[in-house]
Amino acid sequence: MGENKVTSVKWGILGTGWIARKFADDLAFVENAECLAVGSRSIESASRFAQAHGVTRAYGSYEELVQDPDIDVIYVATPHPFHKENTLTTLRAGKAVLCEKPFTVNSTELEEMIKLAREKKLFLMEAMWTRFLPPIVKVREWIKSGRIGEVQLVKAEFGFKTEWAPEHRLLNLELGGGALLDTGIYPVSFASMIFGAAPEKMSSTSRIGTTGVDEQFSLLLDYGGGRSALLSGAVSLGLTNDAYIHGTEGYIHIPSFLNAKTATLHADGAEAEVFTDHRESAGYNFEAEAAGQYLREGLLESPVIPLDESLNIMKLLDEVRAQWGLKYPFE
């Protein structure tokens, strides 16, 4: 897609769950973007979604959605065990894809998706919305300009205590449940963003619950040269959900980093500097705006979260699960 071919970006949303609703609402905050169509496995669900979110077209199947000739890009908002199938269906129809995180269940699935996108020269991106939030953009600027010196340690965690419901996707092994892929993708991706490379070594621990999923975990990633990341995630334990980046000349604190609204720079010898985002949206508009800009520029992937980085992250998650002996029944 060249710059002159895409002006106002027309979106299709594949799926009608909670995250799809959030994304549709936030598209209202994006200039030159329109939520044109939604697809579900039933026309009733698609129609209810369309009516609730001001979407023009509703389709009772994913196949009908991806065949709509007026759609520029499709946001895949289904649970992660279905990302591969839904993304491949969309790519085969010639549509660009923004796929919700985690990109896939394992690296083999993601390799297949990347291969097809590159063969067909179509845009593909993981919807790691955190990276596009203004406080996180500011954090990258602080680090790049050397405000805290050389980064040595990253600490990040995301966890909450979910109600006991064995059939819920978070606790259901058949649905790829567990903390690592659901909450863990955030701290792991955050560390990857900061250090910009795959870790040289990894050690981990987890608590496997009665349903067979990892209910909580901790990781220690070694990036060489004494640089490390301490990461945790949980679906059965409430955590602070904060992130800290420690450098040789100060540190950065990001409360609730995954949906960050503030970030504080503590540079040695200086007063604390606070960056605050007063957004009215939930924050999904920033990744949508970025994806639209990439399409207008004719890019096939995001420079902020490149496909090879997403693949390295998924390979790391595979390695972690292998340490635990955790495999999903459908793999």
Domain boundary among 90, 107, 128: 128
What does the pLDDT average to over 29-46? 97
64-86 pLDDT per residue, tens: 999 999 999 999 999 999 999 99
Pair (64, 205) in one structural domain: no
For 226, counting Cβ atoms within 10 Å of its Cβ (0-12 exposed, 13-18 middle, 19+ buried), the class is exposed
User: What's the pLDDT score for residue 5?
Assistant: 55
Tell whether 301 is covered by a domain. Answer: no
112: domain CATH number is: 3.40.50.720
User: What's the pLDDT score for residue 226?
Assistant: 95
Pair (201, 89) in one structural domain: no
Domain boundary among 128, 154, 188: 128
Pair (82, 153) in one structural domain: no
Among the listed residues 71, 121, 139, the one whose alpha carbon sits nearest the alpha carbon of residue 276: 139
82-124 pLDDT per residue, tens: 999 999 999 999 999 999 999 999 999 999 999 999 999 999 9
Pair (162, 119) in one structural domain: no
Tell whether 331 is covered by a domain. Answer: no
Pair (72, 214) in one structural domain: no
Residue 2 pLDDT > 60, yes or no? Answer: no
286-301 pLDDT per residue, tens: 999 999 999 999 999 9
Domain boundary among 73, 98, 128: 128
176: domain CATH number is: 3.30.360.10
Buried b (16+ CB within 10 A) or exposed e, 258-296: bbbbebbbbbeeeeeeebebeeebebbbbbbbbbbebbb
Query: What letter represents residue 299's amino acid?
Result: L
- Domain with 186, as residue range(s), is 134-276+313-324
Residue 7 pLDDT > 90, yes or no? Answer: no
Pair (180, 257) in one structural domain: yes
What does the pLDDT average to over 175-204? 96
Pair (148, 270) in one structural domain: yes
Mean of per-residue pLDDT scores for the chain: 96
What does the pLDDT average to over 8-36? 96
Pair (171, 319) in one structural domain: yes
Pair (30, 81) in one structural domain: yes
- Is 101 tagged catalytic? yes
User: What's the pLDDT score for residue 8?
Assistant: 87
| 318, 324, 330, 331: CA torsion to nearest 10 | 40
User: In the numeric block, which tokens belong to residue 129?
Assistant: 């919305």
User: In the numeric block, which tokens belong to residue 126?
Assistant: 């993981």
Q: Which of helix, strand or coil describes residue 198?
A: coil
Number of structural domains in the chain: 2
**Active-site pick, 10, 101, 138, 155:** 101
